[in-house]
Amino acid sequence: MREFFKSTRFKILLAFIAFLVGIMIYAVTKGGYSLSGASFINTVTKPFRFVSNKISMELETVLDRLNNSDSYYNENQELKKQISELNEQIADYNDLKAELEEFKKLADIKEEHPDSVFSQPAEVLGYIANDPFKSFTIDKGSDAGIKPYSPVTTSEGIVGIIIEVSKHTATVRTILSPDLSVAAVCSSTNADFGIVEGTVITAENNTTKLTHLDMNHKIKKDDLIITSGSSGLFPKDYSIGTVKRLDVETNGLTAFAEIEPCADLSRLRSVFVITDFAGKKETENETANTP
Amino acid sequence: MKLRTPREKRILYIKTTFRWILYLIIVLLSFTVMTSGSWKKPILLVPVALCIAINNDIMISAYSGAFCGFLIDIACDRLFGYNAVLLTIFCAAVSLVYELYLRKKFFNYLWISALTAFLQCWLDYKFYYEMWDYENAERIFHNISLKVWLYTVISSVIIYIIFSIINKFLMPKEHLTIEEVIKAN
């Protein structure tokens, strides 16, 4: 053993480890952009990951059907009931629609500039291995105009934010993560503001948390929570999720709501990246590191 | 003392090339499995890197450990180079320990693999969750890190079997027996 520590190969090994540490430190300074080595590996392995993820997702769906057939049956019955209720609402909706057309003409005048610019639809390449907060990788990167800290959405609602971009792929941090804070407001009251921020416990149930609510809030169960747009990171009026539970924080000073995201974050197939929107805050990173 | 005929040298060269191609395929397959689906998965590249390390020279072990580590960094979205440094050190140490003290037995591989996988999972939890003071972060260790470690240990048995088969047919023998020398001449 002593001979080994005095040998040349030990010195070479130390130099190699120092080189790797150098790479690691350099990676820290990249601020959201992948190293060219990682970018190359991502590009080369992209088709394999795409195919294997498709197979895996299909397999998960089949297993899910087998395991949860009872709950799906109950859910199906519940949905049938809801459909009949919705059919009744459609009749009311048609009346409202005619009224809305008039309002729309007025609104069109105000909508001179569309406030959001979307990327092309991005396929989900795969979820980050063993991530408790369901981060995932998409098949569009900087070549599609995607930059770090761009919001990511589906037709159902906000999903998360881009945290790392390489040329052909990007990594998305979801709203389940404690590292992502979204300024939000209740759509029905339009007055109860809070911060949507994940926790370890809520992430286990695929839910997130609306914190810093005033104790006298008017939020009710099943209310829709939307983005307030005040942070400049997310555009205004995008759905986040519905309220599942309301409670008071352990400090007794503020309230919180458990939010079920509108989009099913554990089974995403494709998403849109919002590359620009009105009220967007230009981050230091973006201005400094735009390739 | 190694005694080989030119023909055996050629065969050795072909076998070694073929063996490394198979190693590379296993590494890429493991990476692909790690990036598929949304369920909890073993860190397959840890036992794969160890299987390469126990049968190879220390420098080769370090380089293959670094390669596997970089792939883990991508699959698990960790700081590029973090797992590469860890696996380089683990693989070099394992290769050295096998060279000096241990015999190539399944039990030795199993406990080394379990220990390495645990260290990898534990350090991952420490640096990526506990250090940042997430509320109830210990649940991640119990519900994810320990399960991933267990899956990794279980999968390391299968990986060991695969590598044993490859090595049985394609790994060069260190020394030729007297019978083999006589037969070759």
The CA-atom distances, in angstroms, between A257 and each of A82, A174, A254 are 25, 18, 11
| Closest by Cβ to B79, choosing from A27, A126, A171 | A27
Reading the block at residue A220, the tokens are 């009710």
CB-CB under 8 Å, B74 with A129? no
Residue B118 contacts residue B149 (beta carbons within 8 Å): yes
Contact A195/B at CB under 8 A: no
CB-CB under 8 Å, A201 with B136? yes
pLDDT digits (tens, 9 = 90+) for B113-125: 999 999 999 999 9
Residue A129 contacts residue B34 (beta carbons within 8 Å): yes
Whole-angstrom distance, CA of residue B151 vs CA of residue B163? 18
Contact A53/B at CB under 8 A: yes
Chain A residues 146-165 within an 8 A CB cutoff of chain B: 164
Whole-angstrom distance, CA of residue B152 vs CA of residue B176? 36
Half-sphere exposure of B138 (CA within 13 A, CB side): 0
Question: How many residues make up chain A in this entry?
Answer: 291
pLDDT of residue B118: 96
Which DSSP symbol is given to B172? P
> Helices B82-100 and B58-75, interaxial angle, to 10°?
150
pLDDT of residue B3: 59
Task: Return the exposure string of B4-27: e unless at least 16 CB atoms fall within 10 Å of the residue's CB, then b.
Answer: beeebeeeeeeeeeebeebbeebb
pLDDT of residue B185: 63
- Tell me what the pLDDT averaged over chain B comes to: 89
Half-sphere exposure of A285 (CA within 13 A, CB side): 15
pLDDT digits (tens, 9 = 90+) for B69-100: 999 999 998 999 999 999 999 999 999 999 88
Three-state secondary structure of chain A: CHHHHHCHHHHHHHHHHHHHHHHHHHHHCCCCECCHHHHHHHHHHHHHHHHHHHHHHHHHHHHHHHHCHHHHHHHHHHHHHHHHHHHHHHHHHHHHHHHHHHHHHHHHHHCCCCCEEECCCEEEEEECCCCCCCCEEECCCHHHCCCCCCEEECCCCEEEEEEEECCCCEEEEECCCCCCEEEEEECCCCCCEEEEECCHHHHHCCCEEEEEECCCCCCCCCCEEEECCCCCCCCCCCEEEEEEEEEECCCCCCEEEEEEECCCCCCCCEEEEEEEECCCCCCHHHHHHCC
Q: Which amino acid is at A176?
A: L
Whole-angstrom distance, CA of residue A254 vs CA of residue A243? 16
- Per-residue pLDDT of chain A in tens (291 residues, 90 and over written 9): 778 888 888 999 999 999 999 988 888 887 777 777 778 888 888 888 888 888 888 888 888 888 888 888 888 888 888 888 888 888 787 767 755 664 454 344 334 436 778 887 888 888 999 899 999 999 999 998 899 999 998 888 899 999 999 999 999 999 999 999 999 999 888 888 999 999 999 999 899 999 999 888 889 898 999 998 888 888 888 889 999 999 998 888 899 999 999 988 888 888 888 888 877 776 554 433 333
Q: Which residues pair with A196 in a beta bridge?
A: A182, A210
Reading the block at residue B2, the tokens are 């190694």
pTM for the complete prediction?
0.74
In the predicted model, residues of chain B with pLDDT beneath 50 are: 1
B-chain CB neighbours of A55 within 8 Å are: 36
Residue A230 contacts residue A223 (beta carbons within 8 Å): no
pLDDT of residue B72: 94
Find tokens 């007297």 and name the residue. Answer: B178
Which DSSP symbol is given to B125? H
| Closest by Cβ to B137, choosing from A21, A126, A200 | A200
Reading the block at residue A263, the tokens are 């989009």
Contact A55/B at CB under 8 A: yes
pLDDT of residue A113: 37
CB-CB under 8 Å, A125 with B32? no
pLDDT digits (tens, 9 = 90+) for A37-77: 778 888 888 888 888 888 888 888 888 888 888 888 888 88
Backbone angles phi, psi at A82, to 5 degrees: -65, -35
- Residue A235: CB atoms within 10 A of its CB come to 19
CA distance B106 to chain A (A): 23
Burial of B139 (0-12, 13-18, 19+ CB in 10 A): middle
Q: Which amino acid is at A137?
A: T
Residue A225 contacts residue A186 (beta carbons within 8 Å): yes
